[in-house]
Structure 1
Amino acid sequence: MADQQRVLILRLAGPLQSWGDQSRFNRRETRPEPTKSGILGLLAAAQGRRREDAPGELLDLALGVRVDQAGTLLRDYHTVSDYRGRPLPQAAVNAKGVQKPTSPVKYTHVTQRYYLQDAVFVVGAAGTADLVDSLAAALRRPAFPLALGRRSCPPTHPIVLGLHTGTLNDALRDQDWQAGHAARREFQRRHGRPPHIDLPVTIETPDGDDVVHDVPLSFSLRDRRFTSRRVTHSWVSAPTGFSDPDEPTGAGHDPFALLGW
């Protein structure tokens, strides 16, 4: 029954995250919040699935994302060249399947990568109790390293916040605000210590008012395929977690706190 589903609650935080859904070789974009393909990829890595393995029962999970700290967009400028000093090939191939040389000849190619810096998201993954419990165990002892969208973006906190019995909306509403210490201090300076804060959420629902094309049918590099899902955008009033009279709580360990960030 929908109101008795189990929800795995995750905290996704790190210096950098990148959740692309439309990327080309020379330009890798990021969405402002985690994609379903990125979350399922993280769960598949924890389980030990390889790229050639089908997503399987992971596709049955319904996702909800709460933006606790939106972060800022970072553009990372790259240049690519052949260490042997050879001209770069182009994407097209000849009749023998060999990449053609660039014309006119290029020795350096400019690429751009986009990241979210200092973002924090709370993600709920709803499914059957057996599946959700097994995913929680896998995330605590992952088979492969976990990443926030790309391999270069490791998480800086333990990912699993806990389990919730109920709806996705309830799970995202009841979880304490998870922003970093600097954001919480700034919020206190501006607004004091209110018991709740309004946060934006995106929840996967069959009758959602928006469509996103981020459901992975295959992770294989040779056969990457996606389909669409419907989502609803709304707000929840979540507890701030300001229970300590001196320090904000609920944000967990912050490795940059000693630097005053």
Structure 2
Amino acid sequence: MSVLLLRLAGPLQAWGSAARFARRTTENAPTKSGVLGLLAAAEGRERDADLSDLTELRYGVRVDQPGTRIRDFQTAHHFDSDKAMPLSERFYLADAVFVAAVEGDPALIGRLDEAVRAPVWLPYLGRRSCPPSQPLDLGVHDDADIVTALGAVPWQASDWYRHRHGTSPELALLLDCPSGASPDQSFRDAPISFDPRHRRYGLRGVVADRVPNPSVEPASVHDPTSALGAV
């Protein structure tokens, strides 16, 4: 298996797994449907295209900089009639940074990596109003599992965040729940179809984990009896 790593950083991000009428929420981390949609757009897939190869990929995300949740109110008018639309309440994550990963067949991962580096349609971080502020591609890890790959890429937090909050010794992971295991939580963000005539999403189990921050030097272990060996 191979793992493609993506840096998801921008002034605003919005990763909704549920929306009711004029209230558009965001999860605290990128959803699987949002990231697979980004990859499908990079490849130039139409919205009614088959997604079965993408949905089989194992997905995980590392939280490098959690960001701040903000709320915005938006209004709009019909272009032709100038009739006012209902007031819309939208939530975003500001100044967040994540490392997302998809694990799967090396041939497919290689194609997705090429697409991310030269996308057919420009990527965005959950909504079209949320462009990335840095290049997405962090490379491919061959012959590695998703946890190992997420634990190897350097910490992506901004300089100001490191200065203000210090260095986190561990970083949180959210991973697809392995078959047969019990999930810690569930999200309806497993895409079945992006067709705007009938968008469909299934439930996805998620397990939480943590990895050591790869940018932190491991502490040396002091052995008070080590000097006795030299006697």
TM-score range, shorter chain: 0.7 to 0.9
User: Which of 51, 57, 60 matches 1:55?
Assistant: 51
Match of residue 214 from structure 2? 239
How many residues end up aligned between the 2 structures?
213
After TM superposition, where is structure 1 displaced by more than 4 Å over at least 4 residues in a row? 83-87
- Report the equivalent of 1:41: 37
The one-letter code of the counterpart of 2:29 is: E
Q: Which residue of 2 aligns with 1:148?
A: 125
| 1:187 to 1:142, Cα distance in 2 relative to 1, 3 A | same
Percent identity for Structure 1 against Structure 2: 42
Judge conservation of contact 2:191–2:200 (CA < 8 Å) in 1.
yes
C-alpha distance 156-86 of structure 1, shift in aligned 2 (>3 A): closer
Q: Confirm or deny that 1:197 pairs with 2:169.
A: yes
Q: CA deviation at 1:86?
A: 5.4
Q: Could you tell me which runs of 5 or more consecutive residues in structure 2 were left unpaired when the two chains were aligned.
A: 218-231
Other structure's SS at 2:149 match: helix
- Secondary structure, in 3 states, of the residue corresponding to 2:46? coil
CA distance in 1, matches of 2:53, 2:78: 41
Deviation at 1:80, TM superposition (A): 2.7
Displacement, 1:122?
0.5
Letter in 2 for 1:156: S
Secondary structure at the aligned position of 1:152 is classed as coil
RMSD value, Cα: 1.8
Aligned mates of 1:232, 1:28 — CA distance in 2: 25
Q: Structure 1 stretches of 5 or more lacking a match?
A: 88-106, 243-261
**How far does the alpha carbon of each residue in 1:105-140 deviate from its partner, in whole angstroms, 9 at most, with x for none?**
xx5521111110100001110001001011001100
- Is 1:79 equivalent to 2:57 in the alignment? no
8 Å Cα contact 1:175/1:238 also seen in 2: no
Determine the C-alpha separation between the residues in 2 that align with 1:24 and 1:80.
Answer: 18
SS of structure 1 residue aligned to 2:27:
coil
SS in 2 for 1:156: coil
Mapped contact 1:37–1:215 kept (Cα < 8 A) = yes
Please give the secondary structure, in 1, of the residue aligned with 2:87: strand
Residues 189 and 202 in structure 2, CA contact (< 8 A), matched pair in contact too: yes
Alignment of 1:175-214 (within 5 A): 175-188=153-166, 197-204=169-176, 205-206=178-179, 207-209=181-183, 210-214=185-189
Which amino acid counterpart does residue 203 of structure 1 have in structure 2? Answer: L
1:7-26 matches, within 5 Å, as 7-26=3-22
